[in-house]
A and B are shown apart, each in its own frame.
Chain A
Amino acid sequence: MSNRRNFIIALGGVGGLGLAFASPLRRLLKSLMKNESQRNFSRFSPQECRNYVQINHYGGPSRWFFDSILKPTDGQPFYSNPMIVNHLQSSTPLEFDYKFHKVGNINMPYLWKFDIPSSDGGEVPMSNLTKNMMTVRGVHLEGTLGHPINCAKMVAPAPGGLSIDGLVADLSTSPIPAVTIGNTPVNRAFKSRKSTVVRINTDEENYLKYLLDPFYHPDTTSWFEDKEEIKKIVDEAIEALKESKTTNSSLYSDLSKSRQFFNETIDGFLGEYDQLVKKYKTLIERSLTSTLKGINDKPIPGLSLPLNFKGKHEAIEALGKYVLEDHFLIDKDLRNILNGASFLYLAQEFAIAEYVISKGLSSSVVISTKSEMGHFFDNTAKSFAIENYNIVKEYDGVNNTTSFAASKRFTVGNPKSLNWSLDAHNTGLIPNFITTNQFFYSIATCLNELISSFKKQTLNGKNVFDETLIHLTAEFDRTPNQFLNGSGHNEHAHVSSFFSGAIESHTVLGNIYSEASGDKAEDFDDHGTIGNAAPVGSFNGQKIGISNLSSSISKILRIEPIVGRATPFLKLKNDKVVPMIASAENIEGVFSLIEQTDD
């Protein structure tokens, strides 16, 4: 310790005798000593902000399967929408409904009923995730429409401005302040005052090798013999250069770190990382083959023609629930579409997040899709399907019936490769049910493992999970199509879920409109609770906007808010999240784009 530090400690000791040194001075002494330790560089020195992991499903898959909490507690108004289903009631006839599973006193979607694979080979309840989970629903995107800008808003609520991961990077003490994986607007929205982000393409073979590549010298030649001696005199020369160029000291600090980091820490990293990737791959494989009662335990027959319907209909109206893109699925059992389904990159994405955060290599990891054409799975089985133009419609005006049949030129032929887009505009009820349930079941499996791993680790004396915020999000939730043939963007129904040790209990915030029941809805848009933002009385009667959400995230992360005027709806007390608004409520009423005010 320096003489100055000894001096200060000595003064503090005298102060402890309660003589001339009153307690405010002791606090000052403490802060001096604290500043002194912060001055000392160590590779994993404490950082002021929390770590940030965002998992962003660009495209906006329907969240009513997972974390769009449509009826938080019993007694809240909720009306079902025919497209919003999450449970298979029966195969014959094919019937679906929307079921809840109570976790504590909160009605979670049905999927939460199940256990998920864990890394010890067993299973754990998915509901374990809720212990440190906060869902914010009914968030409106403040007027912007479409994917790109709203995806970017997930980190940068003021378009073109600073981003959450940028601000975390600025306060980071990690060697690589921020990492972003994927190639979507959220990856491109990184903006900070003084930091850079490492961008990794989703299909990079080995993410960790890519990150460590600058420091990895597998081909060190014999020219580096007598390394220590050479290193010493090179160090002396570098020191002399540094002294001669005093304004560049931060650059020399980077040089020193690079040389130290390279020399000490590369070996073994890749092997350890490989184990993590294998771990997540195994978990994902198990999740993809799990039987979930009421979801994939019974056959789900595809479209079987010919069919007759009462009234006059187009094919899309009557057969919409079987739609995928411009095809209708005709497999005998549509569960087959997931045969051989896999996630090509998910294991690496979670492995790198776990690795860099728990090792202190990085403070921010933003994960999004490979491109702006994100889809649920890779390698899904091909589906037998009939094109829309191969369906022949006949309307019988006398009996007022419409029949649909396959055209004579149609042959079943070979199964087709179809696009299972996360942006499910043209994904009918049935394929949406099959894919999205499975998708989130696998995501939950990986999330659980990530959280469990973080909980077991400490860094700089602090629990990694306590010091990390995991943010599961997408641009928005979706508005069902009237004919059950897909769903559109709902920029008034953004949902984000957060997981952190800073969140001490299961919390659901944000109000939504109940909308109307089927018999009372004036049109389809009003039919059923889908998550449209409603005012929150305890939030000054405002709806929660994306800027408010961002400010709240900043609060948890201990960074400055990006939109200063946007009030957060939570605070930190003893470094734990405390909501400043009431728990989520469903407000009786119908969402309208035009706000009505009392004159």
Chain B
Amino acid sequence: MIKSFFIFLFFLTVNFSHAQSYAPEKSLLPVLDFSKRLSDRFYVHSTLQQIFGPSVKPTLYKYIFSKPNAFGGPCDVYEQIRPNGHSVADQMTSCFERNDTSTLPLIGRRNLLRMGYTLKACTAITNNNKAIDFALQAASLKKRDPSKIKIEKLYKLFYPFEKLDHKVETALIKIEKKHELRWVLYTLCIDPSWQVL
């Protein structure tokens, strides 16, 4: 019994207080909050286009670029050329009919909509054979490359400066062996980490 009591006291010193218990009257005013800085729609759009090629432009515009609220990235009204009152000459300068698009933050924030649109974009992209071919070419993949090399090259498309973790490599090779490389690309595409600044 006494042993149990002391073991219990030991647990007390272990961090169990991660869940927030909010008491407005007692809390100090928090001045810092930590969250990952995510890239904005311009970055996501250009990265995926670089990897998957020009055939994905419509998809990226539909699911990424035209969702500034989800991804961040303000429009620049000074860049707009308006042939008439209702449209802009370059779609990429559109504010999508909202005044506040020009005041959106440069740094994106995590939110479920962002992830949802990323899922949609990646699903559509990796269902596009031209996009897959482009990505394989961009990775300089050769048919004779062993799986390990292929995976490493595809990984580098999204993480050019990172070393491929062994567990990740094993999991991706498993995908490659059972299904097509497009599923590897799909997995890497939906992985959120490459969007972190």
Contact = CB atoms under 8 A, between A and B. Distances in A.
Interface in B24-60: 24, 27, 29-30, 33, 35-36, 38
Report whether over half of chain A's contact residues are helix, strand or loop; otherwise say mixed: helix
Interface in A223-281: 223, 229-230, 233-234, 236-241, 243-245, 247-248, 250-252, 254-255, 257-259, 261-262
B171 A214 contact: no
Contacts of B175: 233-234, 237
B178 A233 contact: yes
Interface in A158-203: 171, 175-177, 183, 187-188, 193-199, 201
Interface residues of B, number: 59
A32 interface: yes
Contact of A215 (B5, B19, B116, B174): B116
A48 B19 CA distance: 11
19 contacts: A7-B8, A11-B4, A35-B17, A35-B18, A38-B19, A39-B18, A171-B22, A176-B112, A183-B98, A194-B109, A199-B69, A214-B116, A237-B172, A237-B187, A250-B110, A251-B196, A255-B192, A258-B116, A560-B27
Interface string A24-36: 0000000110010
A376 B174 CA distance: 62
Contacts of B97: 201
B123 A217 contact: yes
Contacts of B191: 238, 241, 255
Given A240-B170, A252-B192, A197 B179 contact: no
Task: Describe B's contact surface by its main secondary structure.
Answer: helix
A213 B116 CA distance: 8
Interface of A: 4, 7, 11, 14, 20, 31-32, 35, 38-39, 48-49, 171, 175-177, 183, 187-188, 193-199, 201, 213-215, 217, 221, 223, 229-230, 233-234, 236-241, 243-245, 247-248, 250-252, 254-255, 257-259, 261-262, 554-555, 558-561, 564
A38 B21 CA distance: 10
Given A255-B190, A558-B24, A214 B170 contact: no
A196 B190 contact: no
Nearest to A187: B100
Given A48-B22, A195-B109, A199-B98, A564 B29 contact: yes
B11 interface: yes
A214 B119 contact: yes
Contacts of B36: 247-248, 250-251
A233 B170 CA distance: 11
B193 A241 contact: yes
Given A214-B120, A258-B119, A196 B19 contact: no
Contacts of B33: 193-194
B119 to A, nearest CB: 6
B3 interface: no
Interface in B56-106: 69-70, 97-100, 103
A254 B20 contact: no
Contact of A217 (B16, B29, B120, B170): B120
A249 B41 CA distance: 21
Nearest to B195: A251
A590 to B, nearest CB: 39
B165 A248 contact: no
Contacts of A248: 36, 192-193, 196
B140 to A, nearest CB: 22
A155 to B, nearest CB: 14
A331 B18 CA distance: 68
A144 to B, nearest CB: 20
Contact of B111 (A193, A196, A559, A564): A196
A287 B193 CA distance: 52
A7 B11 CA distance: 11
Nearest to A554: B24
